[in-house]
């Protein structure tokens, strides 16, 4: 029933699922390209092809996983059981991905393809339920925003651990041997992540039901997409954001090592992103007053300022200006990060309201599909730019073309992405009609809209209409 509140124990248990996910995902996003080129010894060109093939293949697994979730009808619900079934396998495959067996050049590349492909497939199975379960935790839109903010706060905790702690942990556990260091670090993160997924499984509940939560055939699920233009905009936005994010995050270690000649700054710079925690705390309150769309636009606007300042600093070699720009960008991230997940939950409601079909698995997974394809394209483009620009792994001095390619990946691409992102969000109109959608759905489910509350025990006011 929608009147029930999600307690803080359950909120935290839900959020640490993304802590677990990011302990592994951020290792992939930030360090895997460097690990493959400078630690495992693969060429940048081979890595570019690897990223494109595996990530796009992985992306096609997302809609399949969404369909599987919609067809799931277990005693634990639709999304929740996958935290139990896939949490430990995900952690084990992540460990194998950072193992460095000496199979020769061809054998090492084959091993990388196998382990990274398996990791991506299982990641789809464990990560999509984090998003698809959100509309089942509560039917209150404001409480969903709060849950998404808790999720993003704890996701950032996982990112912070990886961003700040990875290289010191690699050095400590590897004793100067990066191959051993990266593997043992991934073992540590994998164990923690597996335990967190189990905690999520045991402590969250799927309480929102539609009265027809039976396995949905694909044709029925697809009806929830038809005419759902807000969802389409989020799909495109996810493709763009995750593609550029892949280019930027995996280029950080290259930029500070070769462009700025200060590799010791990598952990500090990656740690700056944790300032997003400051604004993330207030993001749900801001969204309550100006809407999710406008909160996302606010974040993108601040990103434009931040990356512009950082670019000026990079060309003038002003470390203080560069860091100031990255600080502004980190604060901007807090306003925009959680909004995407909360808005996806809203489009699931809209799809049900418009079509009569609640396809939370397919809609969550298909949006993830766009993000995964974006990661594949962005990651491949980033590595391809390095290869095209004659990047040489571990070279003391890189060619000017390689330095320019690294700067494009790290600063220019995210600046352009923020500008395009604002244009996409200006077309998003669901915030204006969400109250009507929510109240009408609750009448269909037999819930009195005045009993729903606003997440603080206060009744929601809105104009009741029928579809």
pLDDT tens profile 193-208: 999 999 999 999 998 8
pTM above 0.95, yes or no: no
Instruction: Mean pLDDT check: name the lowest of 21-25, 119-123, 370-374, 410-414.
Output: 370-374
**Is residue 77 classed as helix, strand or coil in its secondary structure?**
strand
> How many CB atoms within 10 Å of residue 9?
10
Tokens in use for 420? Answer: 């395009």
Interatomic CA distance for residues 377 and 56, integer angstroms: 8
Confidence of residue 372 (pLDDT cuts 50, 70, 90): confident
pLDDT tens profile 30-63: 899 999 999 999 998 999 899 888 877 877 888 8
Q: What is the pLDDT, as a whole number, of residue 312?
A: 95
Q: Please state the rounded mean pLDDT for residues 138-157.
A: 88
Q: Taking 80 as the threshold, does the pLDDT of residue 465 lie above it?
A: no
Confidence of residue 464 (pLDDT cuts 50, 70, 90): very low
Q: Please state the rounded mean pLDDT for residues 95-102.
A: 95
pLDDT tens profile 255-290: 999 999 998 898 889 889 888 888 888 888 899 899
Confidence of residue 447 (pLDDT cuts 50, 70, 90): low
pLDDT tens profile 317-363: 899 999 999 999 999 988 887 788 789 889 989 998 998 887 877 88
Count CA within 13 A, CB hemisphere, residue 197.
Answer: 30
CA dist list (Å): 464 to 423, 433, 444, 453: 31, 11, 12, 15
Q: What is the pLDDT, as a whole number, of residue 300?
A: 95
Q: Taking 70 as the threshold, does the pLDDT of residue 157 lie above it?
A: yes
Q: Taking 60 as the threshold, does the pLDDT of residue 240 lie above it?
A: yes
Percent of the chain at pLDDT > 70 equals: 92
Interatomic CA distance for residues 117 and 47, integer angstroms: 13
Q: Taking 80 as the threshold, does the pLDDT of residue 69 lie above it?
A: yes
71 class by beta-carbon count within 10 Å (0-12 exposed, 13-18 middle, 19+ buried): middle
Confidence of residue 461 (pLDDT cuts 50, 70, 90): very low
- Whole-angstrom Cα Rg for the chain: 22
Q: Taking 70 as the threshold, does the pLDDT of residue 1 lie above it?
A: no
Q: Which residues pair with 77 in a beta bridge?
A: 74
Q: What is the pLDDT, as a whole number, of residue 163?
A: 86
Confidence of residue 460 (pLDDT cuts 50, 70, 90): very low
Mean pLDDT, all residues of the chain: 87
Interatomic CA distance for residues 227 and 250, integer angstroms: 36
Interatomic CA distance for residues 412 and 376, integer angstroms: 19
Q: Taking 70 as the threshold, does the pLDDT of residue 80 lie above it?
A: yes
In the block, which residue shows the tokens 């369909």?
A: 67
Confidence of residue 215 (pLDDT cuts 50, 70, 90): low
Instruction: Mean pLDDT check: name the lowest of 123-127, 139-143, 317-321, 433-437.
Output: 139-143
Q: What is the pLDDT, as a whole number, of residue 236?
A: 92
Tokens in use for 308? Answer: 């512009």
Q: Taking 80 as the threshold, does the pLDDT of residue 29 lie above it?
A: yes
């Amino acid at each position: 029933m929608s009147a029930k509140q999600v307690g803080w124990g359950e909120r935290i248990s839900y959020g640490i699922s993304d802590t677990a996910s990011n302990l592994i995902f951020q290792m992939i996003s930030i360090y895997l390209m460097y690990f493959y080129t400078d630690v495992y010894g693969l060429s940048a060109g081979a890595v570019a092809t690897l990223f494109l093939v595996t990530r796009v293949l992985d992306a096609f697994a997302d809609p399949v996983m969404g369909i599987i979730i919609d067809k799931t009808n277990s005693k634990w619900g639709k999304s929740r059981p996958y935290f139990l079934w896939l949490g430990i396998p995900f952690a084990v495959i992540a460990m194998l991905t950072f193992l460095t067996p000496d199979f020769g050049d061809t054998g090492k590349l084959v091993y990388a393809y196998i382990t990274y492909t398996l990791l991506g497939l299982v990641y789809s199975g464990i990560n999509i339920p984090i998003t698809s379960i959100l509309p089942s935790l509560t039917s209150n839109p404001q409480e969903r925003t709060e849950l998404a903010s808790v999720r993003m706060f704890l996701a950032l905790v996982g990112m912070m651990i990886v961003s700040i702690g990875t290289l010191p942990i690699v050095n400590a556990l590897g004793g100067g041997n990066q191959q051993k260091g990266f593997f043992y670090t991934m073992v540590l993160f994998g164990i923690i992540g597996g335990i967190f997924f189990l905690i999520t499984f045991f402590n969250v509940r799927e309480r929102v039901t539609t009265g027809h939560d039976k396995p949905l055939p694909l044709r029925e699920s697809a009806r929830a997409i038809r005419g759902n233009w807000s969802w389409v905009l989020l799909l495109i936005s996810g493709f763009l954001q995750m593609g550029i994010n892949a280019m930027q995050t995996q280029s950080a270690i290259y930029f500070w090592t070769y462009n700025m000649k200060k590799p010791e700054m990598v952990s500090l710079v990656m740690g700056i992103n944790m300032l997003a925690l400051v604004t993330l705390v207030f993001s749900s309150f801001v969204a309550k007053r100006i809407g999710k769309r406008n909160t996302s636009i606010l974040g993108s606007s601040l990103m434009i300022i931040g990356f512009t300042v950082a670019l000026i600093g990079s060309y003038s070699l002003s470390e203080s200006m560069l860091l100031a720009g990255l600080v502004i960008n980190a604060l901007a991230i807090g306003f925009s990060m959680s909004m995407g997940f909360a808005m996806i939950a809203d489009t699931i409601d809209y799809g049900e309201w418009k079509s009569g079909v609640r396809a939370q698995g397919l809609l969550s997974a298909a949006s993830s599909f766009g993000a995964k394809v974006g990661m594949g394209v962005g990651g491949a483009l980033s590595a391809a730019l390095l290869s095209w620009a004659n990047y040489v792994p571990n070279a003391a001095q890189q060619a000017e073309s390689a330095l320019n390619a690294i700067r494009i990946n790290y600063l220019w691409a995210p600046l352009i992405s923020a500008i395009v992102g604002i244009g996409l969000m200006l077309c998003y109109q669901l915030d204006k009609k969400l109250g009507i959608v929510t109240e009408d759905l609750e009448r269909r489910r037999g819930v009195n809209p005045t009993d729903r509350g606003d997440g603080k025990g206060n009744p929601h006011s809105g104009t009741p209409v029928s579809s």
